[in-house]
């Protein structure tokens, strides 16, 4: 089964959280899009009163197009579930997210949710995080000094072979997040201590969000060619 079919299967499996009077955060990315489409169809078919909060302009546009009952995060202080994809997830359910650039809003919505469900294809499951470049959302003001500080700090944590890249669009112009920030992608190799790395990066001026999601995900719905497995955080 292709990765795309697995993404769809995981998304459809997660439909079990879509119910009456439930508030659900909608993630961003291709897997989350499958969930948004399936959830919209279920709500319509079963005439459910389900409230949704989106994590990006793209998810908002899709949910609006599908006529979903979309609320602003400011009006919904907590959510029951967030259903979102991941770029990588390790055995402790620590994740790298932000491949699509929505990490800041995704983390705010995930941390406002009682339960975070990660839906993913099997390519996302890793033993150690870091093969996928770690996105860091940074202020556009002072982006170069922030990058230099990050570069200078990483060897002190034992990361000596890091490639750093300012994310750009296809036209070569710097990528801008929904919040108007830039993204620096760090090709780290194995991230041996994600908690410490997140902590140190979070304390650096100019850093707005780190694409490490730790202690947030409670359940993974992992699609493989044998079907979708639901795994609860150990």
Please, which residue, 108 or 153, has the CB nearer to ligand 5RP? 108
Q: What's the token pair of residue 93?
A: 């359910």
Instruction: Determine which helix (DSSP H) or strand (DSSP E) holds 65, and give its type and residue range.
Output: helix 57-65
- Out of 98, 130, 133, 194, name the contact with ligand 5RP by CB under 6 A: 98
* R_g of the chain computed on alpha carbons: 18
**Cβ 29 to ligand 5RP, closest distance in Å?**
3
SS3 125: strand
Separation CA 224–CA 175 (nearest Å): 32
Cβ neighbourhood burial of 155 (10 Å; 0-12, 13-18, 19+):
exposed
Residue 97 binds ligand 5RP, judged by CB under 6 A:
yes
| Residue tagged active-site, from 12, 88, 106, 137 | 106
Residue 116 binds ligand 5RP, judged by CB under 6 A:
no
Residue 133 binds ligand 5RP, judged by CB under 6 A:
no
**Cβ 155 to ligand 5RP, closest distance in Å?**
27
Residue 86 binds ligand 5RP, judged by CB under 6 A:
yes
Q: How far is CA 171 from CA 7, 48, 167, 183, 228, in A?
A: 29, 43, 11, 16, 38
- Out of 14, 24, 102, 207, name the contact with ligand 5RP by CB under 6 A: 102
- Out of 101, 130, 194, 206, name the contact with ligand 5RP by CB under 6 A: 101
Task: Decide if 106 is catalytic.
Answer: yes
């Amino acid at each position: 089964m292709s990765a795309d079919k697995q993404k769809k299967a995981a998304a459809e499996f997660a439909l079990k959280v879509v119910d009456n009077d439930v508030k659900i955060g909608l993630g961003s990315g291709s897997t989350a899009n499958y969930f948004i489409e399936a959830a919209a169809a279920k709500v319509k078919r079963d005439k459910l009163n389900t409230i949704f909060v989106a994590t990006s302009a793209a998810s908002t546009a899709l949910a609006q197009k599908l006529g979903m009952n979309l609320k602003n995060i400011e009006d919904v202080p907590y959510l029951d579930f967030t259903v979102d994809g991941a770029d990588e997830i390790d055995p402790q359910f620590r994740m790298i997210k932000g491949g699509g650039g929505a990490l800041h809003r995704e983390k705010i919505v995930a941390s406002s949710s009682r339960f975070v469900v990660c839906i993913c294809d099997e390519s996302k499951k890793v033993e150690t995080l870091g093969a996928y470049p770690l996105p860091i959302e940074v202020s556009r003001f002072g982006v170069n000094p922030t990058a230099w500080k990050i570069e200078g700090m990483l060897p002190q944590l034992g990361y000596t072979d890091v490639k750093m890249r300012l994310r750009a669009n296809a036209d070569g112009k710097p990528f801008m997040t929904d919040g108007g920030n830039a993204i620096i992608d760090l090709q780290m190799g194995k991230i041996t201590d994600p908690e410490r790395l997140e902590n140190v990066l979070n304390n650096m001026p100019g850093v707005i969000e780190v694409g490490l999601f730790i202690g947030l995900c409670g359940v993974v719905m992992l699609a493989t060619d044998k079907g979708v497995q639901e795994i609860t955080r150990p």
